Amino acid sequence: MKIIVAIKQVPERDAQLKIAPDGQWIDESELGYSTNEPDAYALEEALQLKEKHGGEVVALCAGPARAASALRDALARGADRAIHILDEATSGEGQAQRDTLGLARLLAEAIRGEAPDLVLTGLQSDDLGLGQTGVVLAELLGVPHATLILHVEKMEAGIRVKRELEDGWFQQIEMPLPALLTIQSGGNRLRYATLMGIKKAKGKELRTIEAAALRAAGALGDAGAARAATATLERVYLPERQKRTEMLTGTAAEIAAQLVEKLRTEVRVL
């Protein structure tokens, strides 16, 4: 089975975010980056499928130069090779990183040439959280898709997948290959790169393609006027407080005493 896993590099989970002076985006200058966690689950599912059924796992990422480290990490975890669509416009205030359709078109162009059996993406990204790239990608590639997938089973013809629904329900779906799946977190335990893996990764192929070249080569479609109806990001800001939060301070014992007081007199659970 040839599996392509599309990953994204996002600001580290605990990063302290600063808004850029013009308020249009965050200040990326001192941020640490890591692989989007849902994408790590997609990679894990791909690696497990390869271990069971053989084949190849290819990691794919569209991003600026720093994104190569996410791909090297994927190689260290076990991917066979990697493709980096280099696009500096996808960092900073570059609208490109927030252009879902444009990005999906780039990825689709790179994927078409590879003709995979399966394409996996994470369910959504920890930064923008749009949760759409995978579904749009399936649409552009003309393949069936399913989202919120926890587990993939290869069948005689096609696959059967376990999809998560709200409120503790699940569903099985059967579909033919080639297909695209967006992977929900928690279906597997994540493996991490070992020293051996990191060593091996150095010998694996990491191919870089310029986004501009892909855009020129592919029939990436107009986007212009038709896309204007989509709202685009204008500014970012700290959320206005919905609630008036009473912050409690002091030593741990003092805070505990204050909380117990609230629990007794105001919340009335003691």
Instruction: Pull the structure tokens for residue 139.
Output: 């649409």
Residue burial 74-104, b: 16+ Cβ < 10 Å; e: rest: bbbbbbbbbbbbbbeebbbeeebbbbbbbbb
Least gap, CB of 254 to another protein (angstroms): 9
- 89-98, long-range: CB < 8 A, 24+ apart: 89/211, 90/62, 90/63, 90/64, 90/211, 91/28, 91/63, 91/64, 91/66, 92/25, 92/28, 93/20, 93/22, 93/24, 93/25, 95/232, 95/233, 97/63, 98/128, 98/232, 98/233
| Residue ranges in 81-100 that form contacts with another protein under rule CB under 8 A | 99-100
Interface with another protein (CB under 8 A), residue from 22, 166, 192, 216: 166
Over the window 224 to 243, marking each residue x when it contacts another protein by CB under 8 A and - when it does not, the resulting string is -xxxxxxxxxxxxxxxxxxx
* Residue 170 near another protein by CB under 8 A: yes
Interface with another protein (CB under 8 A), residue from 22, 168, 192, 195: 168
Instruction: Pull the structure tokens for residue 166.
Output: 């709200």
Q: Of 53 and 264, which has the nearer Cβ to another protein?
A: 264
Which residues, in sequence order, are bridge partners of residue 59?
Answer: 5, 82
Least gap, CB of 108 to another protein (angstroms): 11
Over the window 46 to 65, marking each residue x when it contacts another protein by CB under 8 A and - when it does not, the resulting string is --------------------
* Residue 194 near another protein by CB under 8 A: no
For another protein, which stretch binds (CB under 8 A), given 48-56, 79-87, 123-131, 199-207?
123-131
- CA–CA distances in Å: residue 132 to residues 174, 182, 258: 21, 9, 45
Interface with another protein (CB under 8 A), residue total 86
* Residue 19 near another protein by CB under 8 A: yes
* Residue 146 near another protein by CB under 8 A: yes
Phi, psi of 235 (to 5 degrees): -155, 155
* Residue 135 near another protein by CB under 8 A: yes
Interface with another protein (CB under 8 A), residue from 8, 132, 183, 214: 132
Interface with another protein (CB under 8 A), residue from 153, 155, 176, 217: 176
Interface with another protein (CB under 8 A), residue from 75, 145, 211, 214: 145
* Residue 139 near another protein by CB under 8 A: yes
* Residue 155 near another protein by CB under 8 A: no
Q: What SS3 class is residue 100?
A: helix
**CA gyration radius for the chain?**
22
